[in-house]
Structure 1
C-alpha cells in the first residue's frame, strides 16, 4: 500500500518478536525482528516460507509498528532487524518508519533490488546481504540476479555502511562455485577486501556429519579473494526463533 496525499503507508508484517541474532557479524546481539511478507525470490532452502506469501500477516502503520517494538524493548536490546520475506519490497514503509523513529537498525536482504536499497542507505546502520548461488534456484536467470547483488554491494561500500555478504552453503555446494563468486565480487569491487563473506552452513547441522571438511575447503578457496568467516545459525542450535 503506497503513500497517498501525504498519508503514511502501511505494510504487511507477519511477526514482530524479540530474540538473539543468530547469523553474521551481529551474532549474539539482542534484536527486535520485524518480519515483512512477500519475496521476489524462491530459494529452495528458505526457512520462512510463510513469509514469502505477500498476503500473509497483518497490515500495520509505522506508529503501530513502533508501539509493538516498544513493548518488546529490553535493557540488552542492540538494534531492530528488518527481515522477511524480502524487506526491500517495503522500502518506502521502512524509510517512513526510520525517518520518524531513527532506531539503530539492520537490514537483512537478498540485495536484488539496489534501487530500493538506495532509499534506505542513509537510514540503516547495518546490512546483511544474502548472495544467492545457482543451486538455490531463486530465480530463472541467476546471472542477472548476481549483477543486481553486485550493484548493491558497490552501493554499500561507496556509502561506508557496516555490512557483510552471506552465502548459504549445502553439502552439495561445490568449492568452485563459492570461490568463483568471491573472485568475481573482488574483481569488480576491489574495495571488498575488507567486507566479510559469511559462509553459513545450511541447517540442520546433522546434514554436515562427516562432511565438515567441505566447509574448510570453501573457506580456503573463497579466502583467496575475500575475508571469510564460517558461522552456522546459532539461534537454531539454541532453539530460538
Structure 2
C-alpha cells in the first residue's frame, strides 16, 4: 500500500531499483543505495513477478529506489512492453532521464531536497536540476506532485523560499502540489508539531500544500 503523497492508501506493487546518486541523511532505505543490492531481472521476469502480486484492488506499480532514473532505459523498455499504470518516485536530479519516460509513466512523485539533507556537495546544482525536471513534467502533462521531507530543525523560511522559487520560475506550478512530509518516526515531533503548521502557512503563500506523514509506518505495513 502506498503510504506517502497524493496516492496514499492506493494498493501498489513496489518495484525497487538499487543504486542512488544522492546520499540523504534521512534515507529510510539505505540498502537501496548499493548498486549491487537485489536481484538482476529482465523485463519479462519482472512482469511475471509483478503479475503474481496484483490483487483486485491494484492501482499501479511504484517505480522507486534508490533512484529509479539510473535505470531509465530499462524502465522505458519495460513500460513500452507492458503498459501498466505506474508511479515514478524520483529525486528529480536527472532531467534528461525523465524525458525518456514522458508518455509512459502516469504519476510522478518528485522528492525535493533541502540543503540540510546533505544529499550532494553542491545543493544549488541539485535544486536547479529538480526545477528543470518539474518543468519537463508539467510540459508533458504528467500527473505530478512534489514531496519535501522536513525535520523539527528545518527552517520555515527555507521551505518557503523553495516554494517561492518554484512558483516564480514555473508559472504553471499551481498544477503541482507540494507534499510536506514530516520525517519519521513521529516521536521526533513531540511538542513540535506547531512547526508543521508554520511551514504549511508560509509555503502556502506560493504553492498548494499538503502535510502528510508516512502512513505505512504508522500502520506497520511494508
- Aligned residue in 2 for 1:106: 87
Q: CA deviation at 1:193?
A: 1.3
Q: Deviations over 1:81-131 (max 9, x none)?
A: 000000000000000000000100010000000000000011000000000
Q: Using the alignment, how far apart are the partners of 2:102 and 2:220 within structure 1?
A: 33
Q: CA deviation at 1:194?
A: 2.3
- Aligned residue in 2 for 1:199: 180
Higher strand fraction (1 or 2): 1
Counterpart of 2:93 in 1: which secondary structure? coil
- Aligned residue in 2 for 1:21: 2
Q: 1:182 aligns with which of 154, 163, 171?
A: 163
Q: 1:235 aligns with which of 208, 212, 216?
A: 216
- Aligned residue in 2 for 1:14: none
Q: Using the alignment, how far apart are the partners of 1:193 and 1:57 within structure 2?
A: 38
Q: CA deviation at 1:190?
A: 1.3
Aligned length: 222
Q: 2:127 aligns with which of 146, 164, 171?
A: 146
Q: Which runs of 5+ in 2 are unaligned?
A: none
Q: Deviations over 1:144-168 (max 9, x none)?
A: 0000000000001111110000000
Superposed, 1:31-110 pairs within 5 Å as: 31-110=12-91
- Detail structure 1 runs of 4+ shifted over 4 Å in the superposition: none
Q: Using the alignment, how far apart are the partners of 2:24 and 2:199 within structure 1?
A: 21
Q: Using the alignment, how far apart are the partners of 1:186 and 1:160 within structure 2?
A: 17
Q: Using the alignment, how far apart are the partners of 1:208 and 1:224 within structure 2?
A: 24
Q: Using the alignment, how far apart are the partners of 1:156 and 1:207 within structure 2?
A: 33
Alignment of 1:170 onto 2:151: yes
Q: Using the alignment, how far apart are the partners of 2:117 and 2:102 within structure 1?
A: 27
- TM-score (ref. length: structure 1): 0.92
Q: Which runs of 5+ in 1 are unaligned?
A: 1-19
- TM-score (ref. length: structure 2): 0.99
- Aligned residue in 2 for 1:133: 114
Q: 2:196 aligns with which of 205, 210, 215?
A: 215
Q: Using the alignment, how far apart are the partners of 2:211 and 2:41 within structure 1?
A: 37
